[in-house]
Amino acid sequence: MAMINQEVVLKNAWITHSQFMDIVAISQMTPGPIAINAATFIGYQKGGFLGSVISTLGVIFPSLIVMTLITITYIKLKNQPWFKNIFRKLRLLSLGLIAAAFIMIAGDAFRDLFSVLVFTASFIASWKFKLNPFYLLIGAAVIGIALG
């Protein structure tokens, strides 16, 4: 997010800072990672439909290259002990990154009493009753509209 702000708002001045904050907020509410959402949105603003297509393809380009290479390498080398070791370490790191993501948004869960209740209910629904996240989110949205 910081990088998107740097490039788009500061370096290229394609949108203003407050427009950027709006995009971030909208991105929280819509499907898709923020990078894709920001690319599609700004691409459209600056270059219409073609702009949005090009930006979106552009933002996934590095992923396509790096991830494809890693996947091919993985399939070839996955039984090598030294390669397996890398992934053993990466799994632990990955756990830490998920925890970091949780830490960064944990504030949202405790903003007010309503949020705390929804958080608790969602946690129990998912943990104890293994409620499918699809339905859980739909349910949460309905509750928000009904009781928010």
Partner 1 sequence: MKMILKIFITFFKIGAFTIGGAYAMIPLIKREVCQKNNWLTEDEFLDGLSAAQSCPGPIAINLSIYIGFHLAKGKGLATAVLATILPSFITILIIAILFQQFAEATLVQKAFHSLRPAVVALIAVPLIQMSRQSGLTLSSFWFPLSVAVLVGFLRISPVYLILITIAFAVYQGLKKQK
Window 78 to 137, contacts with partner 1 (CB under 8 A): 78, 81-83, 85-106, 108-111, 114-116, 118-120, 122-123, 126-127, 132-134, 136-137
| Minimum CB distance to partner 1 smaller for 13 or for 103 | 103
Q: Of 14 and 36, which CB lies nearer to partner 1 in the complex structure? A: 36
Q: What's the CA gap between 137 and 93, in Å, rounded? A: 28
SS3 67: helix
Of 9, 70, 77, 79, the one binding partner 1 by CB under 8 A: 70
Contacts of 78 (CB under 8 A, 6+ apart): 84
Position among 26, 47, 76, 77 found at the interface with partner 1 (CB under 8 A): 26
b/e map 106-121, b = 16+ CB within 10 Å: eeeeeeeeeeeebbee
Any contact of residue 21 with partner 1 (CB under 8 A)?
no
